[in-house]
Amino acid sequence: MSELALRAQKLDGADQLAPLRSRFVLDDVVYLDGNSLGALPAHVPDRLADVVRRQWGELRIRSWEESGWWTAPERIGDRIAPLVGAAPGQIVVGDSTSVNVFKALVAAVRIAGAGRDEILVDATTFPTDGYIAESAARMTGCSLRAVVPGEVGAALSGRTAAVLLNHVDYRTGRLHDLPALTAAVREAGAVAVWDLCHSAGALPVGLDEHGVGLAVGCTYKYLNGGPGSPAYLYVRRDLQDRFDSPLPGWNSHVEPFGMRGAYEPAPGAVRGRVGTPDILSMLALEAALEVWDGVPIEAVREKSLALTDFFLECVGEYVPSGRVEPVTPLAHAERGSQVALRCADAGDVMKRLIERGVVGDHRAPDILRFGFTPLYVGFADVERAGRVLGEVLGA
């Protein structure tokens, strides 16, 4: 057994989060793609069966009240809140990330008010965020300017209405400076909108602490909500009465069953709702979030950094020189919970890794991505992944 394998055993033996692995449905595959789709929490199938067979099958329409269906978006939002550093009453769950980005960005421009006619968008963003930003700019009569996060401070002006940023770069795993960037945006009189898809459930976010105005995120990555599970929208409490959604719906009406012709928004984060919630996937998410009971996000972050450090060490030891180049920052303050490696034949290499039981993914043209979910990934997994990568690239 190699020295790295022995160290992995010792690290796993000392890992206080290791018992959480038993809360998931896993096999002997090394699963390093939780930054795309989280593993299935073991208790979710039975919980979802109850939702289908009893709540829907027996109670039927009564479940909107008796099973708490109607209040699920806010109730589940409050379960997510501690994971992103938010007090209760500021997060509502529903719709997709894309829809919530659109709601948040248009609302941010409206909050910023007259005289501000420019939107800044992260130039390295996930493509959909860019598409949505372009559409929101057209709708609000704003110009759109793409800037890399490090240049946001210099790009801000009295014209800036909103700034759409990613907390963690989906391609490289770079963690952007949410506190400093949010402070700069607020100082300029604009509204920051953060996409938390690759940070929520992987590291502390501190939405309330850092004065973030609006934020969105998905729940199927580190939150393990399942494929297509509903996203969420955060609206800071002092902005809620000014949140003017471009998608007003009967679910966000102050009197949803009044069926009035004129729209009047409900108070609070509820005004981020639109239509009927997708109950089956929403309640699967609610069950999945129970794996977080008693788990401090600070401990998750500590293990995440240890896992990614160890993986980089294994890559340096096992992979032939010159075959890969890390593009994820080495500095902890600049790293999310994934490691991206530049590799000339990334697509083919990832196929061969998957054939050998190491599952990550790749992003064209040349990026291998490995996501580290501390709730169920261990150090022996990391050592095996690095060793198999070295064997594949050395073949």
Share of the chain above pLDDT 90, in %: 99
Checking if the pLDDT of 347 tops 90, the result is: yes
Specify the residue for token string 């609070």.
268
What is the predicted pLDDT for the residue at 1?
79
Of 341, 348, 35, 297, nearest to 170 by C-alpha is 35
Average pLDDT over residues 83-103: 98
Per-residue pLDDT at 215 exceeds 90: yes
Residues with Cβ within 8 Å of 196's Cβ and at least 6 positions away in sequence, in order, are 84, 167, 205, 215, 216, 217
pLDDT reported for residue 191: 98
Q: Please, what is the average pLDDT of the chain?
A: 97
Of 27, 3, 72, the C-alpha closest to 279 is: 72
Planar angle of CA 375, 377, 378, nearest 5 degrees: 115
pLDDT given at position 74: 98
Relative to beta strand 325-326, strand 338-342 is antiparallel
pLDDT at 368 (0 to 100):
98
Cα gap 354→392, rounded to integer Å: 11
Which residues are part of the catalytic machinery? 126, 195, 220-221, 369
Q: What is the pLDDT of residue 157?
A: 97
Q: What pLDDT does residue 395 have?
A: 78
Inter-residue contact 52 to 68 (CB < 8 Å): no
Average pLDDT over residues 158-178: 98
pLDDT at position 332 is: 98
Percent of the chain with pLDDT over 70: 100
Q: CA angle, 149 as apex, 145 and 150 as ends, to 5°?
A: 115
Helix (H, G, I), strand (E, B) or coil at 239: helix
Cα(353)–Cα(388) distance, rounded to whole angstroms? 7
As a whole number, mean pLDDT of residues 119-135 equals: 97
**Contact indicator for 90, 235 with CB cutoff of 8 Å:** yes
Question: What is the b/e burial string over 109-146, where b = at least 16 CB atoms within 10 angstroms of the residue's CB?
Answer: bbbbeeebebbbbbebbbeebbebbeebbeebebebbb
Which element (helix H / strand E) includes 181?
helix 178-187
Averaged over 31-60, what is the pLDDT?
Answer: 98
Over residues 259-300, the pLDDT tens digits come to 999 999 999 999 999 999 999 999 999 999 999 999 999 999
**What's this model's pTM, rounded to 2 decimal places?**
0.97
First to last CA, the chain: 21
Using the 8-state DSSP alphabet, how is residue 54 labeled? Answer: I
Q: How far apart are the C-alpha atoms of 23 and 300, rounded to whole Å?
A: 15
pLDDT of residue 349: 98
Place 201 in a pLDDT band, splitting at 50, 70 and 90: very high
Inform me whether the pLDDT recorded for 37 exceeds 90.
Answer: yes
